[in-house]
Amino acid sequence: MKILITGGAGFIGSNFVRYMATSYPDYQYLVLDKLTYAGNYSNIEELVEQGKVRFIKADIGNPAELEQLSSEGINQIVNFAAETHVDRSITDPGLFIRTNILGVNNLLDLARRLEIRFHQVSTDEVFGSLSLVNLDAKFLETTPYDPRSPYSASKAGADHLVNAYHHTYGLWTTISNCSNNYGPYCYPEKLIPYFVISMTKGLNVPVYGNGKNIRDWLYVEDHCRAIDQIIHHGRAGESYCVGGGEEKSTIEIADIIADQLGLDYEPKVFTKDRPGHDQRYAIDHTKISTELGYKPQYSFESGIRQTIDWYLTNPGWWEPLLSGLKKQDFIDSGKFLSSL
Ligand SMILES: NC(=O)c1ccc[n+]([C@@H]2O[C@H](COP(=O)([O-])OP(=O)(O)OC[C@H]3O[C@@H](n4cnc5c(N)ncnc54)[C@H](O)[C@@H]3O)[C@@H](O)[C@H]2O)c1
C-alpha cells in the first residue's frame, strides 16, 4: 500500500503521518506539501531522515506540479492540504478558493486518471451553525450544508466535488467531517495553542464576543484513528462525521487552561466578535461508531493535559512561528501575543 498524504506537513497531516508510520510500518508514505506559513517541514523531518516517509514540495493548486506523481504507484490519496484559518479567509477568500476548491479538483482529477482511492479531510463547519438554545441538536451526515464563512464555503465546495467525482466517474471517494482538533504541532494562531502560549508568557487572551460560542473538541490522535478506520473499512461515496464528544465554550477553554497552568491573574479580555461567528458546533458520530467501531479514546481532560505538556516542553518548535502571527487589529486593550 502506498499512500499520498497531501498537506502532511501541517498540524493534523503531520500527526496522521506519524500515526500511520507507527501503525503500518510496512506501507509506503509520500508527503506532498506546499509549505505555506502553516506547513512546517520540521514536523515530519525525523520520519524522512529515518526513511519512513518521502517528501515532495509542491502546490495542489498547480496541476503541472502534480504530474510527477503519476508514476509513483500510489493506491490512496488522503488530502489534508488546505488554507484553514477562518480569520484569514475573511481577509483573503480568493486564496481559499484556489487551494481548497481548485486544488481538490486537481487531486480528484489525478485520482481519476490513476484509478486510485481518494479521502477528503473536511470539517463540520460546512453544516453552518447550531443555536445555543437547543443543546440536544447535533450535526450528522444528513444535515444540509449551510456554510457561513469563506473557509467553510470553500470546504463545502470541495466536498460537493468529491461526491460529484464519485457519482459521475465512479471514483472511490470518502469524506470525514470532523470537529475542532487540538494537540501537538498545531500552529499558534489556532485557539488552544494561542491560549496556552499566551498564558505561559503571562499575556492576555482575546475572547471574541461574549465567549459563549461552543465547539466539539477532538484530540488529534482520535481523529487520525478515525481516518485510518475510514480508509481501510469505509464505504465508497460515503461521508463520516467525526467528533470528540467534548463540547466547550471559549470561556471554558480559557479557564481550564488557566487552571492547569496555575495562573495567578485573569487572562481573558473580551473583544469585538468575529464577523459571522458561528455559535455552536456539535457532532453526532453514531454512523462511524456503529459502522466502523470508532470511539474517542481521549477525554478533554486527558487530551488538554497532553497538549499543554507538549507546548511546555517544545518552545523550540513554536517560538520561531510567533513572528508569523497576524496582528489582530480588532483588539484595543490588553497585552496580546500577536501585538507584541
Ligand atoms: N484544525 C482543525 O481543527 C480542523 C477541523 C476540521 C477540519 N480540518 C481540516 O483538516 C485539514 C488539515 O487541517 P490543519 O489544521 O492540519 O491545517 P494546517 O493549516 O495546520 O495545515 C495545512 C497544510 O496544508 C498545506 N497546504 C496549504 N496549501 C497548500 C497547497 N496549495 N498545496 C499543498 N499544500 C498546501 C500547508 O502547507 C499545511 O502544511 C484541512 O483540510 C482542514 O480544513 C481541520
Domain residue ranges in the chain: 2-182+218-242
Residue with cell 479531510: 121
9 CB near ligand 1 (under 6 Å): yes
The CATH code for residues 2-182+218-242 is 3.40.50.720
pLDDT score, position 324: 82
Catalytic residue among 33, 83, 124, 246: 124
Is 151 known to be catalytic? yes
pLDDT score, position 276: 85
> Ligand 1 centroid to 262 CA: how many Å?
32
Round to whole Å and give the CA distance between 258 and 252. 10
Predicted TM-score (pTM) of the model is 0.96
pLDDT digit string (tens) for 223-260? 999 999 999 999 999 999 999 999 999 999 999 999 99
What number does the ligand 1 atom closest to the CA of 61 have?
Answer: 31
pLDDT score, position 208: 92
148 CB near ligand 1 (under 6 Å): no
> Ligand 1 centroid to 95 CA: how many Å?
13
Catalytic residue among 59, 83, 125, 216: 125
Is 125 known to be catalytic? yes
pLDDT score, position 335: 84
pLDDT digit string (tens) for 200-229? 999 999 999 999 999 999 999 999 999 999
pLDDT score, position 215: 96
36 CB near ligand 1 (under 6 Å): yes
Q: Which parts of the chain sit beneath pLDDT 50?
A: 339-340
Residues 6+ apart with CB under 8 A from 328: 206, 271, 336, 338, 339
pLDDT score, position 299: 98
7 CB near ligand 1 (under 6 Å): yes
